Structure 1
Amino acid sequence: MLHRLARAVFGTSNDRLLKAYRKRVPAIAAHEPALKALSDEALAAKTVEFRDRLAKGATLDDLLPEAFAVVREAAVRTLGQRHFDVQMIGGMVLHDGRIAEMKTGEGKTLVATLPAYLNALTGKGVHIVTVNDYLAKRDAAWMGRIYTFLGLTVGVIVHGLTDDERRAAYAADITYGTNNEFGFDYLRDNMKYRFEDMVQRDFHYAIVDEVDSILIDEARTPLIISGPADDSSELYRQVDAVVRVLVQDASTYEKDEKLRTVSLTEAGTERVEAMLREAGVLKEGNLYDIGNISLVHHLNQSLRAHTLFRRDVDYVVRRDPRDNVQKIVIIDEFTGRMMEGRRYSDGLHQALEAKEGVPVQQENQTLASITFQNYFRLYPKLAGMTGTAATEADEFAEIYKLEVVEIPTNLPVARKDHDDEVYRTAREKYEAVIRDIEAARARNQPVLLGTTSIEKSEHVSALLRQRNIPHNVLNARFHEQEAAIIAQAGRPGAVTVATNMAGRGTDIQLGGNAEVQIALELGGMPDGPEKEARAAAIRAEVAANREIVKAAGGLYVIGTERHESRRIDNQLRGRSGRQGDPGASKFYLSLEDDLMRIFGSDRMGGMLQKLGLKEGEAIVHPWINKALEKAQKKVEARNFDTRRNLLKYDNVMNDQRREVYAQRREFMKAEDVSATVAEMREEVVADLVARCIPENAMPEQWDVAGLHEETLRLFGLDLPIKDWAAEEGIDDEGVRERILREVEALMARKAADFGPALMRQVEKSVLLQVLDQVWKEHLLALDHLRQGIGLRAYGQRDPLNEYKTEAFALFNRMLGELRERVTGLLARVELAPPPPVFAPQMTASRLDPAFAGEAGGGETGVLERPAVRRETASGVDPADPATWHRTPRNAPCPCGSGKKYKHCHGRV
């Protein structure tokens, strides 16, 4: 009661923010008359003026009113569009590093030009992040006209660019691209060996379009760059044959759809063991013996593939036009789009390939990974925009420290949102939907029908074909025509079936989109009077159709079931009623829908029958809507907990990732890493002596043989440690100093042989290669640790705290391994004639899961003995044996025998 009273008197926090922003709008408008009077050249010169003012100490906030007014005027001159006052408010929200929630059709793409231009004046670069390549290219070309008019440069990052093209795009003032491209470029940059090979600049400011989709929906799946692991494709096929028989008997496994888990029952375990033995896969022991851990993993993934993942819902089988091979392509559960090239991790994708009988691709091992949460938190300033963020405001605030501000619409929303209709069966529900569509078409009202999966969209499409209702299907199978289909979905009587909200980013205009229709129909015609006449006719037809559709009630959105998230439902609903247009929306539900079946009450069906609900009748009541909203809120809260828990684990790795990447950059930046390498040698020798000579131990208690063996293994030095131990008064410190002295002498000889410049090059290259190798192994160890850490809860221990402790210990072990490998490799590195130029050989290729199937450049692995080139020693003439005595002893003999000089003509 008090809360409602306070809100009535003082307004919400959102109201107070909007009030403060509105006060600044007149200051922007005040510049408009003066700017209109300027020529194009004088208006464009404002950019130089702003940059001069920044250099003299002005802040971006000081420039904001005039800079926003300049962008507004430039948009009028280049695009014929003038920013509304509410769009100015949206621009200020984005500039302040907040999320602007703006309804569909309110012009978010145009809003982003305001803060993008203002922040690009610093010269540090602005990233505008979109959900797909199409939108990145479209927005860069469309809005780029404003930026280039004002003298700024625009880049676009899409799939298939070379490193040089990417570097040029990132060097631009404003760069458009997808979240995947930005994230993978970051990971790839941290696998490069030279600064000049890196493509990204330091992070400055990012605006994330459809921020809810990128930072919430896709946040559960990390970006992973991986290289091929051991091939076990045959085992996947063998296990799949067993599981295919097993799942026909429901008593052999237990499935929890709510938690998306499946496990074998006791009877199932016994049966699968017998079947695996018969197939020759389980060779000894029982299934859960330690030697069969890998087999259990394959079995579990195959079981998940058969029971939890459905074709045309979670994935599709599609022939890749590049190599004419069938592949599994994942479907984004939130947008219904195909996630081209993205692969499930941990062997699940291979299990699906075996299930569908397509070629099983090799498993991959993680080389680098990052979550979107941690990637976007690298930006000092982050902002976002979407039509639906308020329902996830708590998550944005907690994870990203981003405040959501709801921006009012330019014109009042005229859409009518009807109460849901609930039927007992899916059949009755679909019959009601078809009747409603027929009624809408009879009054010339266009319909947008939303489904939750490809399977259901094709089912609805089949029902529409039976009734001879013409329609377009928009799902992952037809994503190439997405923009064209959505653009024409507002024509009189048009019916468009859309999987979730595929098509986000393209407005549905009542009557159709004249410009898209002109581009499609007249794109191939030469410019001239005939083309202009036909274009004018198309515009007139669209204008007439618009009035027909408005009279029919605008776009009618029908949802065929509720999604787990209210936000996805709101996205569908928000397609109707843009810019004050009329519109309507209604959701049709049945007790057989996934949300009702999994999260609803089991007794509801029986209760509705007792209440006398007849065949084909629906229950319609506002209480139903509220009950469903409560169920959705519970699911959203559970999903948030899942993401928050995943982030807590990933934060542990993220701290280590930042440390490793920062250290790696330091190594790359340094001209000379010899001091670091020398420090590593000292620590390795100290650790070696400490392991073999316990503190305060008598010489007879020393592990002399072990110490001798380790110095021989690591450094190739055969030292008289046994004689040293026999000396009177010798202690561990004395042994350490002697070993270190011998090792330093060895390295000094190598440096003299190689020459200082080459030695520095070898040290730096080996250091970077070994760091990459141990980091890759560390990531694998963390993956294995993460999979089993939950079991610690059975011992009344907090898995997260256990993970932190174990991960820290693994990190320390990784650093120790790094020091030892670098020291050992440098101690054993030798000169060799081939290859003529020093180049680290790559032992593993890395493969972006976002672009799987395409060649990736491998940059992991360390040579046991890196081959190096050394110029001919000064004064040594291969044709004159009299000069050969000047050849360094470890260099190849000039005679061409292939032996070292000390073992050939330089033998003493």
Structure 2
Amino acid sequence: MFGSFAKSLFGSSNDRYVKSMGKIVAQINALEPTYEAMDDAELQNQTVLFRQRLDAGETLDSLLPEAFAVVREASKRVFGMRHFDVQMIGGIALHRGEIAEMRTGEGKTLVATLATYLNGLSGKGVHVVTVNDYLARRDAEWMGQLYRWLGLTVGVIVPNLHESQRREAYACDITYSTNNELGFDYLRDNMKHSREQQVHRPFNYAIVDEVDSILIDEARTPLIISGPTEDKSDLYIAIDAVVKRMDEEDFEKDEKTRNITLTEDGLEKVEQVLLAEGLLETENLYDYENTQVVHHLDQALKAVHMFKRDTDYIVKDDKVVIIDEFTGRMMDGRRWSNGLHQAVEAKEGVKIEPENQTMASITFQNYFRMYPKLSGMTGTAATEAPEFFDIYKLNVVEIPTNLPVQRIDEEDQFFKNTHDKFRAIAASIREHNEKGQPVLVGTVSIEKSELLSKFLEEEGVKHAVLNARMHEMEAHIVAQAGRLGAVTIATNMAGRGTDIQLGGNLEFRTEDELGDMAEGPERDAAVARIKEEIAAERQQVLDAGGLFVLGTERHESRRIDNQLRGRSGRQGDPGLSRFYLCLEDDLLRIFGPDTLFSKMMNSNLEDGEAIGSKWLSKAIETAQKKVEARNYDIRKQVVEYDNVMNDQRTVIYEQREDIMDADAVDDVVIDMRNDTVNAIVGAACPPGSYPEQWDIEGLKAKVEDILGEPAPIDEWMQEDGIEPEDLEQRLAAMADAKMDAKFADSDPSIWRQVEKSVLLDRLDHHWKEHLATLDALRQVVFLRAYAQKTPINEYKQEAFGLFERMLEAIREDVTKILMTSQLRMAEPEPPVLPDLPDFLTNTDPGAGMMTGHINPLTGEDNSNDGDGSSKRQALFGALAGSTFAQAGPGGAESENPWAGMDISRNAPCPCGSGNKYKHCHGAVA
């Protein structure tokens, strides 16, 4: 109570923090007249002056007021848009490495230009991260006009770029990209074998747009680069057929965790079917020999009974494409792991792609934490503020709106079932549509959006549907959602990135209606007409009450609901929002409290009747908080496990970089060889044991296998007082002598390159195998909880031991390859002839074209035409040093260099004499 009183009196800590930035904004505003008075050249030259001051030792913080003022003035000249004071506050928060929470329509894209320009002055690179390729291209092209006008370079990273194009884009002052492309490029860079092949520069600063979508929603699964393994298509198809024959009573579903377990009857039934199909090695399904079948059975059960078409995925072009549960977008190229994607492919009867083996992986949490400075912006971050701070050490700053919010958020409407709910929704949409009010409808799945579309068709309401199927038309559909009488159904509006303007969007209308019209007076007149239409239509929409946002279901996360609501009421516009719910909604059915169900089911709700109450809204919010807490635990667990791998990944990647940067790695190779010899001897001669207990035969076999030659260990063992240290020294000396001899017999530069290549190759190979082992460990370590042990602690201990064994395997592998391999030089390439003189390459008869009959052994000319002898002498000079010798017809010393070749006797002679082969080199003596 006292806290709320103090807050009302002094304001929240966020309010005080925002107010403190007002002094900096005042400095920026005071500079505005100065930069307004400059011409374009003077204003553009400020970038050069700023960089000179940075080189002289000034900091970015000291340049902030001037740099922000320059960007504001440049924006006025390039775009005709002036940054509001609240946008300046957002820019300051971004520069300080914080998350700026700004409502939809407050101009986050323009806010980013402030911090991006300031940090781009250092030349170390700024990464602006977007949620999809369309936004990366759009923002790079749109905001790039401003940056380029001010003298900064701008690049964009999208799929299917060549490495050279990626390297060039990363070398720019500012680089736009999606989070996936950045992460995958980082992983690919750490699979390269030289620095020149890498595309990334050292990390400097990143601004993440829709930061909650990228750092929260998409952070539940890591990025993985994988390679194909053996094809098991037949097994997937066979097990899919078995699962589809099962009944509901054969298994139990846990929809919260998306797990399925077989009942006792179901287990017996499955075992009988699998045995009949010949898929089991033994009669017991859970015998060790049937481990692979059990794994595929579990995945097939999930695919068939838990994953729904048009909700979790769609089938497009004979491929299963995952749908992002938060944004509703297709995730082309992304695949579920552990055989789940293959199980879904078998379910849908499309081509089954082979399973993949992990070659490199990283979570978004650990990727973005590598940036020395990280910031972000979104319309909804406050509900996840604790997670942002715990994981990323990012503070959330709520930026006030430029104009007060006029939107009215009505209480949720609750119905008995889905049919009643959708009937009421369709009637409400028709009612608002008839008075011209635009309606934006948010659904949670493609299935629900298409169901609602049918209801609207029955009501006779014209509408547009936006879901994963219409991915390419996304921006165009969203941009016109604010037009008079427009009805737009959208699957999850999170991160759409396109502003909904009342009356319509000028840019998109111009592109759609005047795309083919050439520049000129006619086009200018058409643009002016569209502007007038938009202005008139905007006023009509305002009179109708602004944009009406209607949610057909509450989402698991309050943020997604807030993002949908935030589409209405931009920049002080009026607006309305309302959610429609029913008992059959997934959120209430799976996560809602039992009391909610019992009270609602016992109530006397008539068909089509709706109720709304604060108690109901509170119960729904409680259910959402439960889901959010559960999802946070999932993400936190992902990070905890990846942190273990991240420590190991850091060691491996740093080792790779050291190897790539080194001119020679002989010191590393020598250390590995000595460590390997010590490990071999240590295993055969344990400390504290007697010589008669030593495994001498095993040691001899191991030495011959690793070092490539036998060692006189039996002779050494006959000496009195022989110790393991003596064996280590002698074996190391023997290995060193062998390597020194190899080194002396080869080109040192080539041998150094061989060592580097072998080292990198073995490092990558064993790291890939290690990742697969850790994946398997992570899946089974949870069973340790039954023994009252903490799984994460067990995982850390096991992973450390596995890492130590991996390093031993790398050392042994590198030593064995280098000790036993033979360096053979490749066949030399044929000599490259010098360029011919001009007169031989000019086919114009006036240039003195000649024919010659050159002996390929001596280079002497046996031609009898006698012309152009000086030119032939020039030719011989050009060919001086070549191993040509005379060959020609009619002499005892003549030789035929083309003898044995399949040349027709009537064909022209290859020597170029112009005679037939049978009359020249092919003449019979």
Aligned to 1:115: 115
Give the distance between the partners of 2:535 and 2:549, measured in 1 at CA: 22
One-letter identity of the residue aligned with 2:205: Y
Aligned to 2:322: 330
Give the distance between the partners of 1:709 and 1:814, measured in 2 at CA: 22
- Cα offset for 1:217? 0.2
Give the distance between the partners of 1:104 and 1:91, measured in 2 at CA: 16
Aligned to 2:63: 63
The farther-off stretch of 508-517 and 169-178 is: 508-517
**Pairwise mapping of residues 309-458 of structure 1 onto structure 2 (< 5 A)?**
309-319=307-317, 326-458=318-450
Give the distance between the partners of 1:609 and 1:37, measured in 2 at CA: 71
Aligned to 2:609: 617
Q: Is residue 2:11 matched to residue 1:35?
A: no
Listed one character per residue, the Cα deviations across residues 301-352 of structure 1 (whole Å, up to 9, x for unaligned) are 0011111100000000000xxxxxx000000000000001100011100000
- Secondary structure of 2:68's counterpart equals helix
- The answer (yes or no) to whether the contact 1:318–1:328 under 8 Å persists in 2 is yes
- Cα offset for 1:127? 0.3
User: Does the C-alpha gap of structure 1 residues 176 and 835 become closer, same or farther in structure 2, counting only changes over 3 Å?
Assistant: farther
Give the distance between the partners of 1:335 and 1:513, measured in 2 at CA: 22
Aligned structure 1 segments of 4 or more residues deviating by more than 6 angstroms:
none
Aligned to 1:300: 298
Q: Which runs of 5+ in 2 are unaligned?
A: 830-882, 885-925
- Secondary structure of 2:745's counterpart equals helix
- Cα offset for 1:261? 1.4
User: Does the C-alpha gap of structure 1 residues 254 and 835 become closer, same or farther in structure 2, counting only changes over 3 Å?
Assistant: farther
- The answer (yes or no) to whether the contact 1:685–1:736 under 8 Å persists in 2 is yes
One-letter identity of the residue aligned with 2:219: A
Q: Is residue 2:599 matched to residue 1:596?
A: no
- Cα offset for 1:608? 3.6
Give the distance between the partners of 1:703 and 1:413, measured in 2 at CA: 82
Aligned to 2:717: 725
- The answer (yes or no) to whether the contact 2:275–2:283 under 8 Å persists in 1 is no
**Pairwise mapping of residues 252-271 of structure 1 onto structure 2 (< 5 A)?**
252-271=250-269
Give the distance between the partners of 1:299 and 1:312, measured in 2 at CA: 23
- Cα offset for 1:625? 1.6
Aligned to 1:17: 17
- Secondary structure of 1:338's counterpart equals coil
The farther-off stretch of 710-719 and 603-612 is: 603-612
**Pairwise mapping of residues 190-205 of structure 1 onto structure 2 (< 5 A)?**
190-205=190-205
- The answer (yes or no) to whether the contact 1:212–1:386 under 8 Å persists in 2 is yes
Give the distance between the partners of 1:421 and 1:696, measured in 2 at CA: 79
- The answer (yes or no) to whether the contact 1:94–1:383 under 8 Å persists in 2 is yes
Listed one character per residue, the Cα deviations across residues 669-723 of structure 1 (whole Å, up to 9, x for unaligned) are 1111000100110000011111112224333222111111011111111112112
The farther-off stretch of 694-703 and 400-409 is: 694-703
Aligned to 1:142: 142
- Cα offset for 1:467? 2.3
**Pairwise mapping of residues 500-511 of structure 1 onto structure 2 (< 5 A)?**
500-501=492-493, 504-511=496-503
Give the distance between the partners of 1:128 and 1:113, measured in 2 at CA: 10
Give the distance between the partners of 2:396 and 2:157, measured in 1 at CA: 27
Scaled by the length of structure 2, the TM-score of the pair is 0.89
Q: 2:547 aligns with which of 551, 555, 578?
A: 555
- Secondary structure of 1:718's counterpart equals coil
One-letter identity of the residue aligned with 1:147: Y
Give the distance between the partners of 2:520 and 2:173, measured in 1 at CA: 37
Aligned to 2:504: 512
Give the distance between the partners of 2:800 and 2:358, measured in 1 at CA: 19
- Secondary structure of 1:412's counterpart equals coil
- Secondary structure of 2:577's counterpart equals strand
Give the distance between the partners of 1:285 and 1:736, measured in 2 at CA: 52
One-letter identity of the residue aligned with 2:439: V
Aligned to 1:536: 528
Give the distance between the partners of 2:153 and 2:389, measured in 1 at CA: 33
Aligned to 1:711: 703
Give the distance between the partners of 1:697 and 1:792, measured in 2 at CA: 35
- Cα offset for 1:423? 0.3
Listed one character per residue, the Cα deviations across residues 49-106 of structure 1 (whole Å, up to 9, x for unaligned) are 1111112221111110010000000100101111000000000000000000000000
- Cα offset for 1:730? 2.1
Aligned to 1:572: 564
- The answer (yes or no) to whether the contact 2:105–2:570 under 8 Å persists in 1 is yes
- Cα offset for 1:775? 0.3
Q: Which runs of 5+ in 1 are unaligned?
A: 320-325, 838-877, 880-908
Aligned to 1:216: 216
**Aligned sequence identity (%):** 59
Aligned to 2:785: 793
- Cα offset for 1:504? 1.5
**Pairwise mapping of residues 610-649 of structure 1 onto structure 2 (< 5 A)?**
610-649=602-641
User: Does the C-alpha gap of structure 1 residues 433 and 705 become closer, same or farther in structure 2, counting only changes over 3 Å?
Assistant: same
Aligned to 2:271: 273
Aligned to 2:476: 484
**Pairwise mapping of residues 753-772 of structure 1 onto structure 2 (< 5 A)?**
753-772=745-764
- Secondary structure of 1:5's counterpart equals helix
- Cα offset for 1:589? 0.5
Scaled by the length of structure 1, the TM-score of the pair is 0.90
One-letter identity of the residue aligned with 1:458: E
One-letter identity of the residue aligned with 2:412: D
Give the distance between the partners of 1:836 and 1:139, measured in 2 at CA: 52
Give the distance between the partners of 2:278 and 2:259, measured in 1 at CA: 28
One-letter identity of the residue aligned with 2:459: R
Q: 1:782 aligns with which of 763, 774, 781?
A: 774
Larger Rg: 2
One-letter identity of the residue aligned with 1:38: M
- The answer (yes or no) to whether the contact 1:387–1:571 under 8 Å persists in 2 is yes
- Secondary structure of 2:21's counterpart equals helix
The farther-off stretch of 623-632 and 296-305 is: 623-632
Q: Is residue 2:821 matched to residue 1:817?
A: no
- Cα offset for 1:593? 0.7
Aligned to 2:892: none
Listed one character per residue, the Cα deviations across residues 368-401 of structure 1 (whole Å, up to 9, x for unaligned) are 0000000000001000000000010010010000
Give the distance between the partners of 1:167 and 1:156, measured in 2 at CA: 11
The farther-off stretch of 228-237 and 816-825 is: 228-237
Give the distance between the partners of 1:57 and 1:234, measured in 2 at CA: 66
- Cα offset for 1:611? 3.6
- Cα offset for 1:503? 6.2
Aligned to 1:888: none
- Secondary structure of 2:360's counterpart equals strand
Give the distance between the partners of 1:404 and 1:560, measured in 2 at CA: 29
- The answer (yes or no) to whether the contact 2:464–2:488 under 8 Å persists in 1 is yes
Aligned to 1:8: 8
- Secondary structure of 2:627's counterpart equals helix
- Secondary structure of 1:575's counterpart equals coil
- The answer (yes or no) to whether the contact 2:224–2:362 under 8 Å persists in 1 is yes
Listed one character per residue, the Cα deviations across residues 458-514 of structure 1 (whole Å, up to 9, x for unaligned) are 111121122221111100000100011011111111100000116621011101112
Aligned to 1:284: 282
- The answer (yes or no) to whether the contact 1:482–1:502 under 8 Å persists in 2 is no
Aligned to 1:54: 54
One-letter identity of the residue aligned with 1:283: E
**Pairwise mapping of residues 829-908 of structure 1 onto structure 2 (< 5 A)?**
829-834=821-826
One-letter identity of the residue aligned with 2:276: E
- Cα offset for 1:121? 1.1
User: Does the C-alpha gap of structure 1 residues 382 and 737 become closer, same or farther in structure 2, counting only changes over 3 Å?
Assistant: same
Listed one character per residue, the Cα deviations across residues 575-601 of structure 1 (whole Å, up to 9, x for unaligned) are 001111111000000111111111224
One-letter identity of the residue aligned with 1:278: A
